[in-house]
């Protein structure tokens, strides 16, 4: 608990310093410190400081997943852009489901968000390990069924 509060404090300090840019001001700096302490205290009172919301724990393993996801986003963008130019004859939309192999809610929500973040597919509902999603095209369904994204998110989840 103390560890998670500490890592939240650290992140808030870094964000505050970056956003304010006033690193030596004698009045603004203590005010910033006060607002960080107040925020951590409110989060503590709300009981939302736990393993799942520890920003540092999420950030470091994610650094290896994000570049791959970025590549997927670029690819999906180009595909959707070409379908827009070719018109609606190039579409064969379907609502279908994919199995997720993640164990935790956090892992599943990362997977569901990744599906939504790549254009062409959007998550509609998550129930247990079934993820219902809309896909613009059959190719996208085939790709998700191959399960590379699912495997990568599961690997990321194990490192968390």
| Token pair in block for residue 86 | 């070719």
Q: Which lies closer to another protein via its Cβ, residue 5 or residue 117?
A: 117
Of 1, 10, 13, 74, the one binding another protein (CB under 8 A) is 74
Report how far residue 142's alpha carbon sits from residue 126's, in angstroms, rounded to the nearest whole number: 19
| Token pair in block for residue 121 | 């597919």
Mask of contacts with another protein, 114-143, x by CB under 8 A?
--xxxxxxxxxx------x-x-x-------
Mask of contacts with another protein, 19-38, x by CB under 8 A?
x-x-----------------
Using CB under 8 A as the binding criterion, the count of chain residues that bind another protein stands at 37
Of 81, 104, 142, 148, the one binding another protein (CB under 8 A) is 81
Q: Which residues contact 44 (CB under 8 A, 6 or more apart)?
A: 5
Q: Which lies closer to another protein via its Cβ, residue 6 or residue 22?
A: 22
Interface with another protein (CB under 8 A): 15, 18-19, 21, 70, 73-74, 76-77, 80-81, 83-85, 87-89, 91-95, 112-113, 116-125, 132, 134, 136
């Amino acid at each position: 608990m103390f560890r998670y509060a500490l890592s939240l404090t650290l992140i808030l300090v870094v964000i505050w310093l970056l956003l304010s840019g006033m690193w030596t001001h004698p009045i603004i700096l203590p005010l910033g410190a006060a607002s960080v302490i107040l925020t951590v205290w409110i989060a503590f009172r709300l009981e939302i400081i736990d393993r799942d919301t520890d920003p540092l724990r999420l950030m470091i393993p994610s650094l290896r997943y994000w570049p791959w996801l970025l590549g997927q986003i670029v690819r999906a963008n180009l595909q959707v852009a070409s379908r827009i130019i070719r018109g609606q004859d190039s579409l064969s939309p379907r609502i279908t489901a994919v199995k997720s192999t993640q164990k935790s809610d956090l892992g599943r929500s990362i997977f569901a968000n990744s599906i939504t973040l790549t254009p062409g597919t959007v998550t509609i509902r998550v129930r247990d390990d079934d993820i219902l999603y809309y896909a613009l095209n059959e190719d996208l369904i085939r790709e998700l069924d191959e399960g590379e994204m699912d495997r990568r998110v599961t690997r990321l989840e194990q490192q968390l």
